[in-house]
Amino acid sequence: MTKKTTQKLPQTEITGEFERTPVPISKLKSWKSFLGMYAGEHAAGTEFVIGPLFLTTGVSAFDLIVGLLFGNLMAVLSWRFLTASIGVQYRLTLYYQLEKICGKKLVVIYNLANGILFCFLAGAMITVSATAVGIPFDLAMPKLTDTVPNGPKWILIVLGLGLVISLIAAKGFATVSKVANWMSPVIIFGFLAAGVISLIQLNVGSFFDFWILWGEGSEPFPGQMKYTFWHVFFWSWFANAAMHIGMSDLSVFRYAINPNVGWTTAAGMYVGHYMAWIAAALLYAVYLQSPEAKILLQNGEAPPVAPGPLAYNALGVFGVLVVILAGWTTANPTIYRAGLAFQALLPKASTFWVTFLAGSVATLAGLFPAFAMKLLDFVSLYGFVLAPVGAIIVFEHFFHKKFGIIQYYAEKGGLTFNSTVLLAWVLSAGGFYFWSQSQEIFLSFMILPAWICCGLLYLVLSKHMQKSLK
């Protein structure tokens, strides 16, 4: 029996976003479309916090510079040979590909976890912008150990920023995206200028001077873990674990003309996650030479990591502007993505109000400096929770024939909830997280084992639990 001709058109035909169909050849984009996007997205507000936080771990110059060099290389290789390769072959969004494997109801759980973590990340960026906006108001900056708001000024500034950012994200992502792309060269220039001026302020005239200044690093600040080469290597590799081995960027690379477009991620890794992190670390190094910071260290206290004052010290008003723009251009698309994830839970609600709800959650998170001050730990947790789900896509893609399991089992079997996926995800993530916490093992060390374990568990469990569809 044929379906009636009055049937509604699929959503993809209305929006042109191809949410539930492969991207057609006519819509594919070359590497040029991805180069600027990755360079801009990864030279953002987070970098102003991550760079200084590396210094608080007492990392040596060699461990930071070489660890970042190879860790970022592994991230690029992960994007190129996993995410881009699979994205180009199927040309589906992450969410639709997961739905075919997991079922609609299980994807809702994933969306909830993804949306909440996005909100916390956006909240950290609101915190970053607040440190810049607060300069004219003589705002007391949050300390490295602060977890709650430090006063009414902080609350008012964060609430005001959060309201503006949430409204912009809710009203029009297209405009926000264009402005963010236009601003990215300004932000990248700001990072570069900040690094150069910081070297001048530190009286560094050669690489030898730099090595003498930084050298073997120092003892970690109070409450911080000592980082070695391996800490830096694995942390930088998995800083975007949810995006590459977690397969979130399938939604991006489905538009790529071929898998080699994955190499464009190097622009983000080596402009943002290399140059910008080191430049931001140098900003903090200048502050650590100040009498205020030395007194705090002598008293056993960790000097605050406040991007606004750090950038203002190097670049003046332009530095404040760069911090605000970097935080703003990161928080807006992050809130928008969180809104899309929440929409799966509230399908009847308008995009505006769902996105505004996500912005409100992010604003509340921004009130608590802990999300920004513990950004190294939070980013590790973010990747640890979401990356194993990507392993299910990767292992099914490469090994479903060898293991004799049915690809896209939920779609072909009419399942709305594939319990095999949930078991693999919970057992691997839960088991390795417990191991990490009970043995005090650096969480980034556990991301790769948890990812591999989840993929293998999925294959083994599927082999025994899938029913024949013949």
**pLDDT of 316-372, one tens digit each?**
999 988 988 888 777 877 887 788 778 777 777 887 888 899 999 999 999 999 888
pLDDT surpasses 80 at 290:
yes
pLDDT at 298 over 90: no
Least confident of 2-16, 20-34, 255-269: 2-16
**What is d(CA 56, CA 222) in angstroms, rounded to the nearest whole number?**
9
Which value, to the nearest 10 degrees, does the dihedral of the CA atoms of residues 343, 348, 353, 356 take? -10
Domain that holds residue 117: 38-388
CB neighbours of 94 closer than 8 A, spacing ≥ 6? 247, 248, 249, 250, 251, 393
Counting the structural domains of the chain, the total is: 1
Paired tokens of 240: 């975007």
Residues β-bridged to residue 256:
29
Q: Is the per-residue pLDDT at 215 higher than 80?
A: no
Say what the pLDDT of residue 13 is.
34
Is 170 part of a structural domain of the chain? yes
Spatial distance between the Cα atoms of 389 and 403, rounded to a whole number of angstroms: 19
- pLDDT band per the 50, 70, 90 thresholds, residue 155: very high
Domain contains 13: no
Q: Is the pLDDT of residue 470 over 60?
A: no
Place of tokens 């001077």: 209
**Quick check: 230 pLDDT over 90?**
yes
Phi/psi zone of residue 203: left (φ > 0), alpha (ψ -120 to 50 degrees), beta? left
Over 60: is that where the pLDDT of 3 sits? no
Mean pLDDT for 262-283 is: 94
Determine the straight-line distance between the first and last CA of the chain, rounded to whole angstroms.
Answer: 22
* pLDDT at res. 365: 94
Average pLDDT on 425-448 reads 96
Average pLDDT of the chain is 87
Q: What CATH number has the domain bearing residue 164? A: 1.10.4160.10
Higher-pLDDT residue of 248 and 71 is: 71
Domain assignment present for 87? yes
Please write the tens of the pLDDT for every residue from 361-420: 999 999 999 888 888 999 999 999 999 999 999 999 999 999 999 999 999 999 999 999
The pLDDT of residue 469? 64
Residue 315 lies in a domain: yes
Asked whether the predicted pLDDT for residue 173 surpasses 80, the reply is no
174 pLDDT band, cuts 50/70/90, is: low
The residues with which 31 forms a beta bridge, in sequence order, are none
How large a percentage of the chain has pLDDT more than 70? Answer: 93
Check residues 73 and 113 and name the one with the higher pLDDT. 73
For residue 325, tell me if it sits in a domain: yes
Region 294-309 average pLDDT: 86
Which residues, in sequence order, are CB contacts of 394 under 8 Å at separation 6+?
A: 82, 86, 245, 247, 455
Q: What is the pLDDT of residue 380?
A: 93
Q: How far is CA 286 from CA 223, 225, 268, 278, 367, in A?
A: 21, 22, 25, 13, 27
Q: Is residue 456 part of a domain?
A: no
Judge whether 413 lies within some domain: no
Is 161 domain-assigned? yes
Q: What is the pLDDT of residue 62?
A: 92
Region 137-162 average pLDDT:
88
Q: Residue 2 pLDDT more than 50?
A: no
Residue 191: pLDDT over 70: yes
